[in-house]
Amino acid sequence: MIEVKSRSLPITNKKVIDILSAHNPWDGKILDLGAGDGYLSSLVAMELSKRGSDSLNKHLYACDLFPKEFKFDKIKCDFCDFNFPFPYQENTFRAICSIEVVEHLENIFHYSREIHRILQPGGVAIITTPNILNINSRLRFFMTGFPLLFNPLPLSTDNPQTLGGHINPVSYYFLLYSLKKAGFQKIKLHTDRFKKSAKLLMLLLYFPIKIFWELFFKRFKEKNKSVYEENINFIYSINSLPILLSRTVIIEAIK
């Protein structure tokens, strides 16, 4: 078998597997959505093997815009352009994992609706994306107009892949909003590793951020009390330590 390497941080993949395992989806169908080279698929396959799964092809599926790049040879990878309807029937999967995909897409609302459509009731979607709200990224955006891991893109070609393909800097809140609008009932925030440099910056910037945040939402609450109250749990997490310090946002969403 060809060695499969991770395009994303190994610690992110491990966290996704930990969240997935908590839902015990092994007797159902699991989809690696935006599978890349197939690293996550190989990890899910190992978990299925540990539990004595008799047929990998009955439980593990993968899809990607570039299926020829998929190197995990135990299953096939389906073609899927995530800007169009996904090639699966509704209520098909017990769990869907999508690592570092949404920042490459034109339409996150379509993406969230399609994940909701093909997920079974009570199923879990685990979605990761770069955390553009950590202190480092906020400072970079303030100074340059570009959050971390997002840069100017080529305008003379339709393919930005040579520069990483990051075309959509989606923050935790607006990804959460798209999932809520798609119909997901329960959403929980996770993160992976804390950035050492963010810990140092936090000593300088935490209190200014906190003060401006309090002033902004005090005024917002006065003008939009009902919107403030239905968002209160989510907006407070925007300046939580996990968001301010972590490299990656990991969302666990239950249909």
For the chain, domains (ranges, CATH) are: 10-196+246-254 (3.40.50.150)
pLDDT tens figures, 136-154: 999 999 999 999 999 988 8
Mean predicted confidence (pLDDT) in 209-217:
91
In the predicted structure, residue 25 carries a pLDDT above the cut 60: yes
- What was the pLDDT predicted at 154? 83
- What was the pLDDT predicted at 8? 83
- What was the pLDDT predicted at 160? 53
Strands 186-191 and 248-254: what pairing? Answer: antiparallel
- What was the pLDDT predicted at 155? 83
Name the band, by pLDDT with cuts 50, 70 and 90, for residue 163: low
Name the band, by pLDDT with cuts 50, 70 and 90, for residue 39: very high
- What was the pLDDT predicted at 2? 63
Higher pLDDT, 55 or 191: 191
Percent of the chain with pLDDT over 70: 96
Mean predicted confidence (pLDDT) in 184-196:
94
- As a dihedral over the C-alpha atoms of residue 149, residue 153, residue 157, residue 159, rounded to 10 degrees, the angle is 10
Mean pLDDT estimate for the chain: 93
Name the band, by pLDDT with cuts 50, 70 and 90, for residue 158: low
Integer Cα distance of 234 and 103 in angstroms? 20
Strands 248-254 and 119-130: what pairing? Answer: antiparallel
- Show the CA angle centred on residue 76, arms to residues 73 and 79, nearest 5°: 135
Q: Could you identify the residue written with the tokens 């080529």?
A: 154
pLDDT tens figures, 85-107: 999 999 999 999 999 999 999 99
Residue 178: phi and psi, rounded to 5, are: -65, -35
In the predicted structure, residue 53 carries a pLDDT above the cut 80: no
In the predicted structure, residue 9 carries a pLDDT above the cut 90: no
Q: What is the pTM of this model?
A: 0.94
